[in-house]
Structure formats: structure tokens, C-alpha cells
A = this chain, B = another copy of it.
Amino acid sequence: MKNIIHNINKAFDHRIRLGIMSILVVNEFADFKMLKELLGVTDGNLASHTKALEKEAYINVEKSFIGRKPNTKYSVTKKGRDAFKKHVEAIEKLLKQ
């Protein structure tokens, strides 16, 4: 092992992204509005954090219309779930040393 924080994933190392992932690993889907309300963040801020997770292929983004309104649904990918599990284990290990 290199050092005590080397298994902490930079992509999840921010409270908003940690929150997004925490929501997505227990809910098959969450839409923009739901994430925004659960996290208490501004629109632009949420958009940039979801974009960062999407860029790493940790989450999936699906755009559709519900009735006549646009709707964006986020879900976690297999890669994201695996990486997040590792990250959580790394945090737990760090906090329990």
C-alpha cells in the first residue's frame, strides 16, 4: 500500500458527488429535481457535478419527456457502483485505523 488515502477516489471526493452516489446506489433512478431537493444545491452546481460523474462513466444520463416536460434521469453504472464500493471501503478503513 502506498499511503493511507490512495484508495480514495478523487471523483467521489466531494460532498455533493458523494451525496449523488449515495442516492443512486439505493435508488434505481433519480431525476434532476429529486437530486436537487435531496442535496439542497443550485441547478448549475448539480449539473456540473453530475457531468463530472458522467464523464467518468460512473453514472448514466437519460433524457425524456414526462407529459410535455423535459426530464433527466440519472442512474449508476456497474463501473460506478464498483468504484463507489471501493471508495466507501477506503473511507471506512481510513476512519477506523
Identify the A interface with B (CB < 8 A).
2-6, 8, 10, 13-16, 18-19, 22-23, 26, 37-40, 88, 91, 94-95, 97
Cα A88 to Cα B94 in complex, Å, equals 11
Beta-carbon contact of B4 and A38 below 8 Å: yes
The majority secondary structure among interface residues of chain A is: helix
Copies of this chain present: 2
Q: Are B26 and A5 in contact (CB under 8 A)?
A: no
A22 nearest CB across to chain B (Å): 5
Knowing A13-B14, A14-B13, A15-B13, say if A40 contacts B94 (CB, 8 Å): no
Q: Is the CB of A94 within 8 A of B26?
A: no
Nearest-neighbour CB distance to chain B for A90, whole angstroms, equals 9
Q: Are A15 and B19 in contact (CB under 8 A)?
A: no
Residue numbers in B under 8 Å from A18 (CB-CB): 5, 8, 91, 94
Q: Cβ of A23: which chain B residues have Cβ within 8 Å of it? A: 4
